[in-house]
Structure 1
Amino acid sequence: MRRMWVAGAVLALALTGCTEHPSEEGPSVIVPGLPGEPAKTLPQSEAAQAAPKQQPNAADFRYVKMMIKHHEQALEMTSLVSSRAVNETLKSFASRIADTQGPDIKAMKAWLTRAGGGPAHDESHDQMQGMATAEQLAALKAASGPAFDRMFLELMTKHHEGAVVMATDLLQTGSDVFVEEMAQDVISAQQKEIGQMKTMLGA
């Protein structure tokens, strides 16, 4: 498993004793290679740079591209709240979602640029967990007052639950540390928000 390999790499970097060729730069460090590659013994000054970097895989790229679309729909939904909702708590809550997910989209797009964009593919909304259908979005846009509040909370709760499933799946299949950190943030933040929405719904 990747995490066991990473843990081994970290342990090897920490073991700075037992060297055959001590130098003024300090003890040598054993740096493991990638699976199938031999380990190297290097001075401490070179070890950090030589430690193998885990490359993003197809699951990382798929998750980021899908989550950008997922977040964009959340922003589309939250943009309706100020003019249609009557619950002031809901208005503040929706504003916080927008304030969080807007920067998240920028961060994910920046990661895609840095990582080279990954394999090309086209994911439709119905392949993403929790996405509202076109009909549901139309109904939300047509609603106002208490009916809008309830519909928004129901749709956004399902939307968040889908995001948590997607993020949990990524932690089992991805390889990029930055993407894993983003997924962990999604799980932590959106599980908390699911609880808040269920409270507002009276569930």
Structure 2
Amino acid sequence: MLPGRPGESARVTDSDQVKAPDGSTYNRIDTTFVQMMIVHHGQAIEMADLAAERAGDTRLRALAGRISAAQGPEVVWLKFWLKERGLPESDPSHDHSTMPGMQSPADVTALAGLSGTNFDNKFVTMMSAHHRGAQQMAGDVIRGGNDERLREVANEMAVEQGSEIRRMQQL
């Protein structure tokens, strides 16, 4: 729904033609990606923050800190993207547990109960799968989204997470 000028009726338009305040267009794929990536990044930050006290390898601890430090500001930007367009931060119809790469609450709890090498191995397995899921989601918006800046951000996310997967495998 697009509101009319004073005294005019609102009108319905195709979502692919909705313009953001900056003049860019966005569609349902863009919006869904942003709403879901906020939750997805939230879980990655939760897992990465566990490494500060539990990781045995100092290099893994540092990489986890980098993951958290990078994804926190991305979440802020994603929330701003939605706010700027008057969109809600979440859609109750999304089942976040089915997002690619999402770890179950039981798995995150199990990870929190580990330390040292056991933590490191489980963390690398879980975070690698989590990052591959984010890359898949980014691919969806790169292929079908309308917002050019969002596609660029999604591409940057996918590239960075690929680098982090390689770093974790090296560790």
TM-score bracket for the superposition, by shorter chain length: 0.7 to 0.9
Partner in structure 2 of residue 170 of structure 1? 141
Partner in structure 2 of residue 56 of structure 1? 26
Deviation at 1:54, TM superposition (A): 4.0
Distance 1:64 1:121 in 2: 11
Partner in structure 1 of residue 66 of structure 2? 96
Deviation at 1:179, TM superposition (A): 1.2
1:70 aligns with 2:33: no
Distance 2:91 2:77 in 1: 20
Cα pair distance change 1:74/1:120, threshold 3 Å: closer
Residue 58 of structure 1 contacts residue 119 of structure 1 at CA under 8 Å; is this kept in 2? Answer: no
User: Which of 79, 103, 125 pairs up with 1:154?
Assistant: 125
Residue 35 of structure 2 contacts residue 90 of structure 2 at CA under 8 Å; is this kept in 1? Answer: no
SS of the residue aligned with 1:79? helix
Cα pair distance change 1:109/1:169, threshold 3 Å: same
Residue 30 of structure 2 contacts residue 141 of structure 2 at CA under 8 Å; is this kept in 1? Answer: yes
Deviation at 1:127, TM superposition (A): 2.1
Distance 2:46 2:103 in 1: 11
Percent identity at matched positions? 36
1:140 aligns with 2:111: yes
SS of the residue aligned with 1:56? coil
Cα pair distance change 1:118/1:179, threshold 3 Å: farther
Question: Which amino acid letter does the alignment assign opposite residue 116 of structure 1?
Answer: G
Distance 2:76 2:99 in 1: 20
Question: Which amino acid letter does the alignment assign opposite residue 149 of structure 2?
Answer: F
Distance 2:107 2:88 in 1: 31
Can you give the 5+ residue segments of structure 2 that lack an aligned partner in the other structure?
Answer: 1-22
* Greater than 3 Å deviation, 4+ residue runs: none
Residue 61 of structure 1 contacts residue 118 of structure 1 at CA under 8 Å; is this kept in 2? Answer: no
- Larger Rg computed on CA atoms: 1
TM-score, length basis structure 1: 0.70
Distance 2:53 2:89 in 1: 40
Distance 1:128 1:114 in 2: 25
Higher relative contact order by CA 8 Å / sep ≥ 6: 1 or 2? 2
Distance 1:94 1:76 in 2: 10
Please show how residues 23-42 of structure 1 align to structure 2 within 5 Å.
none
1:82 aligns with 2:52: yes
Deviation at 1:119, TM superposition (A): 9.7
How many residues are treated as equivalent by the alignment? Answer: 149
Residue 58 of structure 1 contacts residue 118 of structure 1 at CA under 8 Å; is this kept in 2? Answer: no
Can you give the 5+ residue segments of structure 1 that lack an aligned partner in the other structure?
Answer: 1-52
Distance 1:67 1:153 in 2: 20
Deviation at 1:118, TM superposition (A): 6.0
